[in-house]
């Protein structure tokens, strides 16, 4: 395996990881900002109020995005396995 191929595989894997994680981070970020805004407006400083909504939103996002996630992971794995034939040369 030449260095260019190794760098390309590493870059592809990192970009795919960011592509897969981005929706979950986005949901958590939006819910966290909304919770912080709610706490600032109401002056309610409950520690569990910052954690529970993010956990519930993340669980909901996982349930909704599971088919997309499985399809994306399957396609990535298939494309990576098909590239293995060219790595030996």
Kindly tell me if the per-residue pLDDT of 89 is higher than 70: no
Angstrom distance (rounded) from CA 82 to CA 14:
18
Name the nearest CA neighbour of 12 among 86, 80, 74.
80
The pTM score is 0.79
Q: What percent of the chain has pLDDT over 70?
A: 97
Angstrom distance (rounded) from CA 68 to CA 34:
26
> How far out from the chain centre does Cα 13 lie?
13
Look up tokens 């309610």; give the residue. Answer: 44
Give the pLDDT confidence of 35-55 residue by residue, as tens digits. 999 988 988 888 778 889 999
Q: Which long-range contacts (CB under 8 A, 24 or more apart) does 13-19 make?
A: 16/72, 16/76, 19/72
């Amino acid at each position: 395996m030449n260095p260019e191929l190794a760098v390309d595989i590493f870059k592809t894997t990192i970009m795919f990881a960011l592509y897969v994680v981005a929706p979950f981070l986005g949901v958590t970020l939006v819910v966290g900002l909304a919770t912080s805004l709610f706490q600032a407006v109401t002056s309610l400083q409950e520690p569990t109020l910052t954690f529970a909504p993010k956990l519930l939103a993340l669980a909901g996002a996982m349930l909704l995005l599971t088919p997309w996630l499985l399809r994306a992971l399957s396609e990535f794995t298939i494309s990576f396995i098909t590239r293995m034939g060219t790595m030996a040369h």
